[in-house]
Structure 1
Amino acid sequence: MTNNYSDEQRVDIAKEEYAEYKEGQPAMIDEGATTIGYVSKVVNNKETGEQAYIITDVELPNNPTPEQAASVNNVTVIYRGSSEPFKEDDWMKDWLDNDIPIGKQILTNDFTGPTLQLKSSAKTLDAQMELYENARFDIYGHSLGSMNGQYALAASKYPERIGGAYLYQGPNIYGLLTKEQKLQADKLRDQIFNYVDFKDVIPIGYDLKGIGIVIPVKSKEDVGMIDRHMWGGYQYDSNGNLSVPEGKMIAIRTAQTKIFIKDQLGTLGKLAAKLRASGGGLSSSEEIFLDSQCVLAIANGVYQLVQQAIQDLAKEYDTQITEIEELWDDTLEIARNIGSHLNDSEMIEALSAGGCTKQTLVTQPVTDLKDKFSEIKSIGADYVSLVDQIKAGVEEQLAADQDLARQVANL
């Protein structure tokens, strides 16, 4: 199941592409507090320069059996970016055979096709999808790793099993795709989050159509060139949400909700298949449970949108209230300058005679805004109550049917 990571945590996952892992090790973020999975394969293709980590949600032995591979529900593929020039043995493969040739295609608008590393990255993804045939896949990549991810997504034989893709600071390679690959990339658009700090000189080509939802990052100003390319300009709020233009936030949250719902319904599909296999068919209680869980999956997805919308509106209302309060202070300051011969009481009386009072300019508008926001929060609370009622009904059903509860617990 796709985890509900924050934007900041997803950046940290992508940063793990530059860590040194060995097969079998846990991959962790949040200073070791959060395990994202276990490294099942370290890809180091000497011929093409491709480097990547394959991370499964369950720990596996070397050469897992088909049954063990079938137990994997989620795989994270992290493509590594370019090696630092002159400091690592493989840097020429990255820069001379990939970065520079691809950059030339983009800058000249003369597209001749993918490099060997892009092709091998696509083969890596397909091979892992064939090995872990029951799993959904999340893709991460930075810089050259972003280009590898873009191409692998567009060329994959199994696009229906892509969960989400989180790509950072990579040039736009849409132009070098075939017609069929462009169509596939377009279909996957709402599952691909392509983050770009446009103050960075590396992500070029976005004057043309890009792969996925291209998200401009609202970045810091005073950041060095190398640091900026390595996420140094990214800014987050206290909840780990990345600072992006308001107009993009709705598209991002809607796409994330669609991924969440699709993932939940996919899990329910596996449960239904398991229940059918165990008894030859579905009992009435099992059908009721699956129907209620489908409703719950959609309700939870919409709930995420509702909560995000309320958070966004809270910020907007706070901004408006601050502006209203500042308007009264500005009005008083202007009045003092114009009527310098009046004391404060006389000045306020004169403003009142003209219809300008704190009650009309501040108190009443602020009260109206707070009332409107309270109404919105009340609607949100009603929705939360509905979701809780559905959850309670499911829990009651599981409590009454222990065999069903056991099947769900073992999924």
Structure 2
Amino acid sequence: MVTEENYKDIADKVYAVEDGKDSYTVREEYTFQSNNQKFQVLKAKDNLDNGMQAMAVVPIVDGEPDTSQIVIAYAGTNRLDSKDLSTDIQSLGLGSNKLGNGSDLSAENLVFSDSQFVTALDFADQIAKAYPEAHITSTGHSLGEAIAMYVALKNGWSNVGYNGPDIANLISDKELLYMQTHPEEFRNFRNSSDIIGGITGNKTKTAIYAAGKKGYMGVQDILSNHSLTVWQFTEDGRLIYADGRISTGTAMSEFAEIKTSVTLQMATLRGLKDSFSSGGYTSSERIFLDSSQAQLIGSQIAAAAQTCAESIKKTCQEAISQAEQLWQDAVQQALAASSTLTEAEVKEALSLGGVTEETIVGATKTVFEAIETEAGTLAESFAQINSEINKGIASKLASDSELAGRFSQWQTQLSQSS
């Protein structure tokens, strides 16, 4: 599972695809470490016409590149690259898919090329075609995150990135509405004081203001607020919000994988359906198609509900732990402020102000344990529905050996196609 910290490191590493940008240059087969996970670059592209840098990376699992999960990353603005600055203005600001460059701004000296957003899509398409079974996500920082969101939107992928300007000027009204109603698929973490990342607003409603470095006074502060260094993470790679909350991003990534799995399996099922329909559906074919769709939907809904329940459980446990720590801190601070009182006397004094272990810890437990129980019950319900679907199909096949034989044949055909 690629974590939010991994995405941050990948978004940082892609800057080195540009030749001469760093002391080293990232190319194919380059490996790097992010937290406890090692990654390898599958493909890298430094487009000299428009200044786009991109790379596709995979985690190394058991010593081998795992091409079942690919992250495509795009580099952000290089302040010394006129093509990057032109992209910021012409694409993000004006919504153009062409990039005009030249020795000056006169029409006769302008040379037009495809914008970084156009060539970014081409790069992503190459990766998708080379690895059709892979689960692909995108990431980037600054301009790179804007490009990454754009690519994710066009391909139906999920995105996790940092400090990206809004892309509303580049997309259709229908696409804008989709982003506004599915912000969890385009997780663009921003610093609330980052005027660069926020320069085009938040019309897509995808920005998550998770960092809170306050204010700016000069150029250095503006750049610092836009930097990847402001982000902090837990040991397991989840982002820590400015107010101390922990992101539940792992669950969102799992939801994205479930969505991708459903999409691929439904596409395979549609292919089999088309082959059946050439001569009209038989009753057996109809039963198989209906049963397969029911099994697919039932299993994936059950998986999504279980993922959600596990995420909620983890969040609830963290909230209770924080409440317990808050109570202990309150007692210790009160003890430190009055050396003459015992711990029991301090707790008594706090209770007079309405601060007790029950009001802080007990009340928190009551609320979050109820939420956790409800989520678990819901997950069990969906698991039961899925089980009943499978039992119903098994019962039907047990009573019809001919149908069972055809089912087995079609399921084999389905698995070979997927």
Q: Above 0.5 in TM-score?
A: yes
> Match of 1:244?
241
Q: 1:383 to 1:29 in 2, by over 3 A?
A: farther
> Match of 1:9?
6
Cα deviations by residue, 1:368-401 (Å, 9 ceiling, x for unpaired):
6546655544444445555666777899989x97
Aligned length: 360
User: Over aligned residues, Cα RMSD in angstroms?
Assistant: 5.2
Q: 1:369 to 1:409 in 2, by over 3 A?
A: farther
CA distance in 2, matches of 1:301, 1:253: 13
More off after superposition, 122-131 vs 215-224: 215-224
CA distance in 2, matches of 1:49, 1:102: 13
Cα deviations by residue, 1:188-247 (Å, 9 ceiling, x for unpaired):
3423222222445632415x3344511123256899866664411101123311123679
Cα deviations by residue, 1:342-365 (Å, 9 ceiling, x for unpaired):
x979x96xx69xx9699x943697
Q: 1:169 to 1:75 in 2, by over 3 A?
A: same
> Match of 2:162?
168
Match 1:309 to one of 305, 308, 312:
312
Q: Give the match's secondary structure for 1:217.
A: strand
Gap runs ≥5 in structure 2: 18-24, 60-66, 101-112, 395-403
Q: CA deviation at 1:265?
A: 2.0
Does residue 94 in structure 1 map to residue 84 in structure 2?
Answer: yes
Q: CA deviation at 1:269?
A: 0.7
Q: Give the match's secondary structure for 2:140.
A: strand
Cα deviations by residue, 1:255-288 (Å, 9 ceiling, x for unpaired):
7676445323202213313544777774745643
> Match of 2:48?
46
Q: CA deviation at 1:7?
A: 1.2
Aligned pairs for 1:260-275 within 5 A: 260-273=257-270, 275=272
Q: CA deviation at 1:326?
A: 5.5
Q: CA deviation at 1:153?
A: 6.4
What letter matches 2:83 in structure 1? K
Cα deviations by residue, 1:43-73 (Å, 9 ceiling, x for unpaired):
333222222235699xxxxxxxxxxxxxx98
Contact 1:192 1:212 (8 Å CA) reproduced: no
CA distance in 2, matches of 1:248, 1:311: 12
Cα deviations by residue, 1:280-310 (Å, 9 ceiling, x for unpaired):
7747456434312212212322333332223
Contact 1:26 1:37 (8 Å CA) reproduced: yes
> Match of 1:116?
99
> Match of 1:60?
none
Q: 1:375 to 1:332 in 2, by over 3 A?
A: same
Q: Give the match's secondary structure for 1:145.
A: helix
Superposition TM-score, scaled by structure 2 size: 0.63
CA distance in 1, matches of 2:329, 2:48: 63
Does residue 408 in structure 1 map to residue 407 in structure 2?
Answer: no
Does residue 295 in structure 1 map to residue 302 in structure 2?
Answer: no
Q: Give the match's secondary structure for 1:138.
A: strand
Cα deviations by residue, 1:72-107 (Å, 9 ceiling, x for unpaired):
98765422223463xxxxx34334x345x469x96x
Superposition TM-score, scaled by structure 1 size: 0.64
What letter matches 1:142 in structure 2? H
Q: 1:128 to 1:324 in 2, by over 3 A?
A: closer
What letter matches 1:408 in structure 2? S
CA distance in 1, matches of 2:245, 2:98: 32
Gap runs ≥5 in structure 1: 58-71, 86-90
CA distance in 1, matches of 2:124, 2:376: 41
Cα deviations by residue, 1:315-343 (Å, 9 ceiling, x for unpaired):
32233334445666778899x79xx8xx9
> Match of 2:211?
218
What is the identity percentage for the equivalent residue pairs of Structure 1 and Structure 2? 14
Contact 2:12 2:228 (8 Å CA) reproduced: no
Does residue 185 in structure 1 map to residue 184 in structure 2?
Answer: no
Q: 1:270 to 1:147 in 2, by over 3 A?
A: closer
Q: 1:386 to 1:246 in 2, by over 3 A?
A: farther
